[in-house]
Amino acid sequence: MFSFDIRTSDRKGTFYHMSRWMINMNKKLMKEKIKFLENQISNQSELLRKLLSETDILNRSIETTKINFNFQWRNVQYFEDVEKSIYNILKYTQLLREWFSRKDIMDVGSGNGRFSYAFCRLGSRVLSTDISPEGLKNTSELCKYFPHHKILKSNILDFEPLDYFQHFDLVWCYGVIHHTGNAYKAFKNIAQLVKKNGYIFLMVYGEPRQERIEDYKELNEYEFLRKITKNITSDDKLSIIRHYHKSNIHGYFDAISPVINELFSWKELEDWLINEGFVDIKRTINSRNHHIIAKKER
């Protein structure tokens, strides 16, 4: 415990030290409080997700998500250089280039098809699935010269495993399940399509890392943009983004237009993977969003 010896001649200095001490104590208290609240919110979100997944309450949001992505794939031009997509696939999966040749790969929530196309170029047999007809149309066009490429319109939440004659060497799902409103169900549906000894890759939005101010700034900016654009049309949203974020229109539209954007803790995702029989669970890059590769053991 601290004790103070306040002498008259020394009073100014002592007050100075006392107030410094109080400011530091307050800062420490605030830090602990924020940490406590973040943990509470994270736990509550997890619980809420479990409860909501048992209800039908999310159906309207899911429909809106589909409409938003359809708009996005029709109106926001976005072509990633295929070499960049290939580079990212190798980096995120930590698999060798040669591994992909003649492998069966399912690209779930394939969007405009940038990764499907890259897998085709790596020599894989690819099934692209998405809820958005516009996205699938673009993907189909992009991959039209690859005879082993197929498309299937489906809602990840309504997967009927018996619809598939096969299981996959890699189920790739980049930036999708956090938009579905029932990420756990989406995950379970795709996890069962992985072959024994095959892989699942997931990119899932992460909660801010506690010491990273840039994570909080980024998420607060998205939240602000979502709020001010909440009740306007997709066309108007796009105009606002075009005005303010000329260099990354697709990225910003992607971040603010879907109605459902859940953030996950690493622990929650790791739990899911373990429960579904995955091993060698790795985060392959150091970023807020989780880039995860895991192997199916059973």
Ligand X SMILES: C[S@@+](CC[C@H](N)C(=O)[O-])C[C@H]1O[C@@H](n2cnc3c(N)ncnc32)[C@H](O)[C@@H]1O
Instruction: Return residues touching ligand X (CB under 6 A).
Output: 62, 65, 69, 109-112, 114, 130-132, 135, 155-157, 174-176, 179-180, 254
Least Å distance, CB 258 to ligand X, is 7
Handedness of CA 87, 92, 97, 102 (dihedral sign): negative
CA 178 → CA 16, 22, 174, 204, 221, distances in Å?
50, 42, 10, 6, 18
Least Å distance, CB 73 to ligand X, is 7
Least Å distance, CB 285 to ligand X, is 15
Handedness of CA 134, 135, 137, 141 (dihedral sign): positive
Q: Nearest residue by C-beta to ligand X?
A: 111
Instruction: Pick between residue 80 and residue 215 the one whose CB is nearest to ligand X.
Output: 80
Instruction: Pick between residue 65 and residue 229 the one whose CB is nearest to ligand X.
Output: 65
Instruction: Pick between residue 169 and residue 254 the one whose CB is nearest to ligand X.
Output: 254
Least Å distance, CB 159 to ligand X, is 9
Instruction: Pick between residue 104 and residue 254 the one whose CB is nearest to ligand X.
Output: 254
Least Å distance, CB 113 to ligand X, is 8
Distance from C-alpha of 202 to C-alpha of 187, rounded to nearest angstrom:
9
Instruction: Pick between residue 38 and residue 78 the one whose CB is nearest to ligand X.
Output: 78
Contact call for residues 64 and 132 (beta carbons, < 8 A):
no
DSSP output for 17-57: HHHHHHHHHHHHHHHHHHHHHHHHHHHHHHHHHHHHTTSST
